[in-house]
């Protein structure tokens, strides 16, 4: 059975028209509440069904190719339910002509600004045509509006709200559909994580190892549901499962809370706390020993071999170890002429090069570099009270040169 609290409003619709599902974030067959509800309503009321796959292309061609490979075969599979299946890359006049045929439209909820802008256009169009819109949340464990009605200060304030509502959103999967390309690949990556990495997940912060889940890119495009991951981890019953679920559920959904309730989450002057802006103001004229620009970063021309290795991982492989992402962004803060330039550079590189870039996690991670969801630390040159990281910390905690060798080998094997 599906929990209807995943839907924003009670389903109601006019008598004429099709059942339309806009697949805009959950590009999968399994654990897709919007798809299953659309199929259910079509059968229940004997109405025709149309499915629109809507994805606005990204700036990076590599990411677009990855996505298209992932949805290969979807249209053919979905034709078993309807011949009205469309893949569109813009909300064109043709798109709205399809919507006009609807009795009701079901859509994956949007979170980022550019996606919410399109969602608002859809809502206004449907309202003008007396067509109901129902939003569904399949890409978080607890729907954003249900978990909280405001921007939360941090994980400690959101965690109890998430955890007290978790059980009612553990839905039972009720489809026997086949897996598609990246849907199957995501499940295999999850299997590898559970069987070989979860037991060492407490060592995940070491960049020289490979104990992270590698699921973020599949979560970004909705090729796998967090619900499925949670159920599998819970069934595996390993002691490290709790710390993994903390990151998958609480930390990840804190980022969704941030971008949903902070309307200026991507604006430097409004994305973090007053104490952080105050300390940056106090240190804006501190002398920088090194000043680098985006061209230096993407051509690996800094004095820091660990940073350069992280950039190689980003540019060539489209990913970066999670701990190194923090180090990488902290160094950009330190080496930029201004804090705002640093922020813009981090966002630009993140959204362009990472397969899992341009997500709530990405924007929240960038804001964290400037104090968001963190506390004030001891006063320090350039950083002020913002958390500081340096290469001595990498050397002290990890076999960091092994990370450099690992990245070089990965790049060499790729080419």
The residue ranges of every structural domain in the chain are: 4-138, 145-261, 268-414
Same fold flag, 145-261 and 268-414: no
pLDDT at 167: 86
pLDDT above 90: residue 181: no
Per-residue pLDDT tens over the stretch 382-410: 999 999 999 999 999 999 999 999 999 99
Task: Identify the burial level of 322 via C-beta atoms within 10 angstroms of its C-beta, where 0-12 means exposed, 13-18 middle and 19 or more buried.
Answer: middle
- With helix as H, strand as E and coil as C, how does 97-121 read? HHHCCEEEEEEECCCCHHHHHHHHH
Q: How confident is the model at residue 10 (pLDDT cuts 50, 70, 90)?
A: very low
Per-residue pLDDT tens over the stretch 59-112: 999 999 999 999 988 888 888 889 999 999 999 999 999 999 999 999 999 999
- What number of other Cβ atoms are within 10 A of residue 215's Cβ? 19
Q: Which residue has the tokens 């909280």?
A: 148
**CATH for 4-138, options being 3.40.50.620, 3.40.50.300, 3.20.20.30, 3.40.50.12590:** 3.40.50.620
Please tell me the pTM assigned to this model.
0.94
For range 15-20, the mean pLDDT:
89
Mean pLDDT of the chain: 93
Per-residue pLDDT tens over the stretch 271-304: 999 999 999 999 999 999 999 999 999 999 999 9
pLDDT at 75: 82
Q: Note the CATH number of domain 145-261.
A: 1.25.40.80
pLDDT at 291: 98
For range 308-330, the mean pLDDT:
97
CA angle 25, 78, 126 (to 5 degrees): 55
pLDDT at 3: 42
Per-residue pLDDT tens over the stretch 241-252: 999 999 999 999
CB 293 within 8 A of CB 272: no
Going by CATH, does the domain composed of 268-414 fall within 1.10.579.10? yes
Instruction: Name which of 238, 149, 154, 256 is nearest 202 in CA terms.
Output: 238
pLDDT above 70: residue 174: no
pLDDT at 188: 95
- With helix as H, strand as E and coil as C, how does the chain read? CCCHHHECCCCCCCCCCEEEEEECCCCCCCCCHHHHHHHHHHHHHCCCEEEEEECCCCCCHHHHHHHHHHCCCHHHHHCCCCCEEEEECCCCHHHHHHHCCEEEEEEECCCCHHHHHHHHHHHHHHHHCCCEEEEECCCCCCCHHHHCCCCCCCHHHHHHHHHCCCHHHCCCCCCCCCCCHHHHHHHHHHHHHHHHHHHHHHHCCCCCCCCCCCCHHHHHCCCCCHHHHHHHHHHHCCCCHHHHHHHHHHHHHHHHHHHHHCCCCCCHHHCCCHHHHHHHHHHCCCCCCCCCCHHHHHCCCCCCHHHHHHHHHHHHHCCCCHHHHHHHHHHHHHHCCCHHHHHHHHHHHHHHHCCCCCCHHHHHHHHHHCCCCCCCCCCECCCECCCCCCHHHHHHHCCHHHHHHHHHHHHHHHC
Note the Cα 397 to chain centre separation in Å: 28
Angstrom CA distances, 169 to 31, 210, 293, stand at 12, 31, 46
pLDDT above 90: residue 322: yes
pLDDT above 90: residue 133: yes
Q: Which residue has the tokens 């059980």?
A: 167
Instruction: Name which of 24, 136, 28 is nearest 88 in CA terms.
Output: 24
For range 137-144, the mean pLDDT:
94
pLDDT above 90: residue 176: no
pLDDT at 88: 97
Residues 6+ apart with CB under 8 A from 205: 322, 323, 397
pLDDT at 79: 86
Per-residue pLDDT tens over the stretch 350-379: 999 999 999 999 999 999 999 999 999 999
pLDDT above 90: residue 9: no
For range 20-44, the mean pLDDT:
93
């Amino acid at each position: 059975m599906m929990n209807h609290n995943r839907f924003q409003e009670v389903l109601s619709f006019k008598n004429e028209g099709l059942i339309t599902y806009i697949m805009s974030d959950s590009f999968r067959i399994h654990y897709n509440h919007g798809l299953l509800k659309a199929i259910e309503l079509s059968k229940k009321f004997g109405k025709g069904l149309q499915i629109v796959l809507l994805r606005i292309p990204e700036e990076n061609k590599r990411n677009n190719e990855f996505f298209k490979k992932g949805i290969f075969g979807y249209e053919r599979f979905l034709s078993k339910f309807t011949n009205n299946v469309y893949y569109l890359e813009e909300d064109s006049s043709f798109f709205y002509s399809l919507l006009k045929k609807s009795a009701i439209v079901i859509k994956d909820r949007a979170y980022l600004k550019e996606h919410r802008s399109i969602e608002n256009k859809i809502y206004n169009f449907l309202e003008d045509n007396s067509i109901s819109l129902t939003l569904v949340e399949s890409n978080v464990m607890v729907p954003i509006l249900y978990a909280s009605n405001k921007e939360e200060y941090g994980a400690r304030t959101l965690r109890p709200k998430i955890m007290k509502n978790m059980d009612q959103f553990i839905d039972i999967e009720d489809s026997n559909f086949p897996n598609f390309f990246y849907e199957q690949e995501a499940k295999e990556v999850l299997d590898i994580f559970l069987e070989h990495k979860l037991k060492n997940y407490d060592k995940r912060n070491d960049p020289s190892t490979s104990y992270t889940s590698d699921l973020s890119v599949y979560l970004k495009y909705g090729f796998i549901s967090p619900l499925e991951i949670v159920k599998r981890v819970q069934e595996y019953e390993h002691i490290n499962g709790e710390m993994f679920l903390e990151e998958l559920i609480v930390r990840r959904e804190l980022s969704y809370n941030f971008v949903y309730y902070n309307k200026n989450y991507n604006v430097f002057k409004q994305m973090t706390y007053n104490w952080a802006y105050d300390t940056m103001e106090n240190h804006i004229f501190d002398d920088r020993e090194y000043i680098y620009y985006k061209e230096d970063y993407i051509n690996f021309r800094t004095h820091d071999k660990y940073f350069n290795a992280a950039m190689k991982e980003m540019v060539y492989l489209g990913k970066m170890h999670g701990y190194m992402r923090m180090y990488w962004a902290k160094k950009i803060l330190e080496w930029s002429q201004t804090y705002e330039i640093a922020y813009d550079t981090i966002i630009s590189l993140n959204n362009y090069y990472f397969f899992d870039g341009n997500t709530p996690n990405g924007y929240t991670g960038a804001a964290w570099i400037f104090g968001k969801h963190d506390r004030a630390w001891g006063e320090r040159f350039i950083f002020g009270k913002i958390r500081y990281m340096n290469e001595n910390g990498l050397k002290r905690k990890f076999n960091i040169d092994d990370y450099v060798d690992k990245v070089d080998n990965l790049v060499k094997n790729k080419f």
